[in-house]
């Protein structure tokens, strides 16, 4: 299999909401298969961010697909490059790599919890990612990806994020 690289147009939409303890515990309980009734917390106000960017979509010799784009001032990570990557034969396990002003490797696997480290110019800190849902139909012809996850900053607050990517090749 030859390496293939295409320029793409990316529409990224991210919605963040402060997560309640109920939601955090539900994710943990679901992950361990325990049946327990929890009450829902009131909805918090969402933070919505939409970005349009140019990037590259690449498939390597090992069948790994990678989508790369530069972060902007709007995301607070200007000077960083984000790469979303997954194995073509396992689109349900997605890794997000960031390099530059912030550096991290985040792993998203439905109904699994992963501990990751987020490096900032000030200091590194540990975060936990629990992916509630991973939908990925991204191919070298474009497509979309949805990551619905809880992120807990060790010893601080937690957020629920709905991250959507829509990708269209620009070399058609």
Phi/psi of residue 136, nearest 5 degrees:
-140, 110
pLDDT(122) > 60: yes
Is residue 40 classed as helix, strand or coil in its secondary structure?
coil
Among the residue ranges 19-23, 137-141, 166-170, the one predicted with the least confidence is 19-23
Q: pTM, whole model, 2 decimals?
A: 0.81
> Is residue 79 left, alpha or beta, with left meaning phi > 0 and alpha meaning psi from -120 to 50?
left
Q: What is the pLDDT of residue 79?
A: 78
Strand 124-136 relative to strand 158-169: parallel, antiparallel, unpaired? unpaired
Percent helix, strand, coil in the chain, to 5, is: 10, 60, 30
pLDDT: is 79 or 119 the higher one? 119
Return the percentage of the chain with pLDDT > 90, whole number: 56
pLDDT(36) > 50: no
Whether 92 contacts 109, CB under 8 Å: yes
Place of tokens 């034969």: 89
Which domains, and CATH codes, for the chain?
19-169 (2.40.128.20)
């Amino acid at each position: 299999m030859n390496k293939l690289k295409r320029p793409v147009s990316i529409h990224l939409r991210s919605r963040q909401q402060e997560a309640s303890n109920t939601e955090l515990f539900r994710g943990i309980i679901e992950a361990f298969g325990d049946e327990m009734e929890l009450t829902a917390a009131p909805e918090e106000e969402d933070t919505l961010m939409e970005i349009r960017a140019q990037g590259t979509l690449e498939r390597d010799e090992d069948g790994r697909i990678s989508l790369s784009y530069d972060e902007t001032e709007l995301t607070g990570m200007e000077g960083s490059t984000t790469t979303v990557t997954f194995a073509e034969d396992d689109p349900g396990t997605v890794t997000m790599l960031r390099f530059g002003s912030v550096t991290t490797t985040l792993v998203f696997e439905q109904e699994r919890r992963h501990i990751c480290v987020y490096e900032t110019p000030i200091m590194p800190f540990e975060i936990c990612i629990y992916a509630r849902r991973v939908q990925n139909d991204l191919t070298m012809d474009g497509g979309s990806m949805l990551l619905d996850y809880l992120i807990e900053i060790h010893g601080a607050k937690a957020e629920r994020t709905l991250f959507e990517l829509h990708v269209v090749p620009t070399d058609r």
